[in-house]
Each structure stands twice: as structure tokens, then as C-alpha cells.
Amino acid sequence: MTTGTKPLGGPTETTPRTTTRQTTTGRRQLISAPRPLGGAAGVLFEPPGERGRRRRGIASAAASAVVALCVAVVLIQLTRHGQLDWERWQPLSQVSIQRFIFSALGNTVLAGVVSIAIGLPVGAVMGLLRLSRRRLVSVPSGAVVELLRSLPLLFVVYFFLLALPALGLRLPPFWQLVIPIVLHSIGNFAEIFRAGVLALPRGQSEAGYAIGLRHGQVMRLIVLPQAVRALLPTIIGQAVRALKDTTLGYVVSYPELMHQGNVLGSYLENDFLQVYFEVAVIFVVMNWLLSRLAEWVESRTAGRTSAPDRSTVTARRTAALR
């Protein structure tokens, strides 16, 4: 019997794990397994000591002081130039001005929603085509996706603004903005879906093939449901990016939030700072809400990407064969 093993009912945290090895003389030698530093939580990260915590506190205090100093300097300069006077901010309290701004916000949301509604499903299809086993499908789709991802969005906007009219094709400002955002989003969504599918363990699809499912059924019943749940926070992040891309509407004179803010600043005798401050607050609030939505979705879907049990796979297979 090997000595040094754990006694029944003994404290597992104080008894080292042991193993044996065969020596050159034929005798067995006991070897204690090394303990991880810091317990279970310290396997990958060792908590900082007293000196490390002190340095981190000093660095945080110094960074906070620098930020506070910068804010104070900015406020002093704004006060000297009269940018904080109530006369400059008072027009923003008028109902007509706010109605003008929020109508532009509606145009921004409309362009963003339409871009996402078109780019998301098309991008998902392109991402799946890149995973096709047929090179006649995967290679062209991969080339299209890489082209869409490599072109700068502003370049595509100018192409639809300047090049298409030279060819006799004129689009409304709404589509001159939305189509470039859609094309850019297709490339990003395609890569997101492709990376999400490839990130799943191969055992997920192999289990489906083992019970007789075809490739399409494996993708539809096993792989895609798990990939979509895992990718929801990333998809929402790309949606936030598409919403911010609508600020390029000023290039094509689409009345979105940035463009109308420029118009309003000119109308209010160059009070651009006050108008752009409100525009910035609106964008920050929208992006903050979408970021909180992504975090909520991530917390709700955490731990749901594991392999389905055998009964679940059998039920899905039966439903697919009906």
C-alpha cells in the first residue's frame, strides 16, 4: 500500500497530494505535488502585497490629481472666454430648439436601426458562407468580406456621394449614408459570426455527426444557437459602432444629430460648444444604455454555451426530421 495518501475525513487543504515514481534501483519514491500560490484563486493571479497596494494607491491618486487639474484649467479658460455664461446656454432651454435636436436624434436612430437590421442578417450569412466546405463558396465570400472590412467607411461614403452621380445614379441622402454603413457592418458581422463558430469546441459538432445529423442540421441545431448566445454582447457592441457611424451623415447632408447640431450652432451665432455639448451627452447616454444592455445580456447568457445533453440533442434531431 502506498503511504502518504489522504486519510478518510482528513482536511484536504492541509494534506499535500502525493504520487510515486520508479527509481533506477527499482524502489518507489514518494513525490509531493506542488501547491498553487494563493489557493484556487491565486493559480493565475497573485494578489499584490502591502507595497504593491501602496504603489497602486499612489498611482491612482496622482492620476486623479492630473485629471482634476486638466478639468480646472478647461473650466477657467471657458470662463475667461464667456462660454459658461447663461446667455449662451439659455437658447437650449427653448422647446423649439429641443424639438429640433430630438427630431435629428430620431433620424440618427432610424439610420442606425436600418443599417443594423440589414447588415446583421446579411453579415451572418456571409460569415457562414466563409465556413463552407466548398471552396467555390468560401473563397469568393471571404474575398468580399475582407474587401468590405479593409475599405475605410468615409471612403465608401464619398464613393456613393461623388462616384455614383458621375455614373448617372443618384440616391437620397438617407441611402447615401445607410448603404456604406450596411456594407461596413456586413464585413464586421461576418467576421464576428465566423470567429464565434470557430471558437466553439469541435466536440459540439462531432457529437452531432455521431448521432447522424447532417452538416446543415449540426450548424442549425447545435452550433448556431450556442454561437449566437455567446456573441450577443459582441453583436451589441458592433451595433453601438454602427450607431456612432451615422455621424458621417454631415458629409451627405443627412439631417442626423451631428449635422443638425452644426446647423443649430450656426443659427445661434456660433454657439457650437453648447450645442455640441448636448449632442455629446445624447451620444454618451445612448452608448451607455447599449453597453449596459450588452453587460446584462452577457450576464444572462453566461454558462449557457456548454454542450447540450443527449436528450436535448435527440429532441432536436427528432424535430428536424419531422
The residue with greater pLDDT, 40 or 202, is 202
DSSP states of 109-142:
HHHHHHHHHHHHHHHHHHHHHHT-S-HHHHHHHH
DSSP states of 201-217:
-HHHHHHHHHTT--HHH
Distance CA 129, CA 142 (A): 8
Q: By C-alpha distance, which of 322, 133, 316, 321 is closest to 207?
A: 316
Q: What is the pLDDT of residue 82?
A: 82
Q: What is the pLDDT of residue 137?
A: 87
179 in any annotated domain: yes
129 in any annotated domain: yes
pLDDT band at 55 (very low <50, low <70, confident <90, very high): confident
pTM exceeds cut of 0.75: no
Please give the DSSP secondary-structure letter assigned to residue 4: S
Q: 9-32 pLDDT, tens per residue?
A: 444 444 444 444 554 444 544 444
Q: 183-220 pLDDT, tens per residue?
A: 999 999 999 988 888 888 888 778 888 888 887 788 88
> Which range of residues forms the domain containing residue 126?
92-321
Mean pLDDT of the chain: 79
Distance CA 212, CA 232 (A): 29
65 in any annotated domain: no
Q: How many domains does the chain have?
A: 1
Average pLDDT of the residues in 304-321? 44
Can you say how many angstroms the Cα of residue 9 is from the centroid of all Cα atoms in its chain? 48
- The CATH number given to whatever domain includes residue 151 is 1.10.3720.10
236 in any annotated domain: yes
Q: Side-chain half-sphere of 147: how many Cα atoms within 13 Å?
A: 10
139 in any annotated domain: yes
**Residue 113 above 90 pLDDT?**
yes
Residue with cell 527499482: 26
Cβ contacts of 270 within 8 Å, gap of 6 or more: none
CA distance readout (Å), 7 to 10, 18, 20, 28: 5, 12, 17, 20
17 in any annotated domain: no
Q: 228-261 pLDDT, tens per residue?
A: 888 888 888 888 899 999 999 989 989 999 989 8
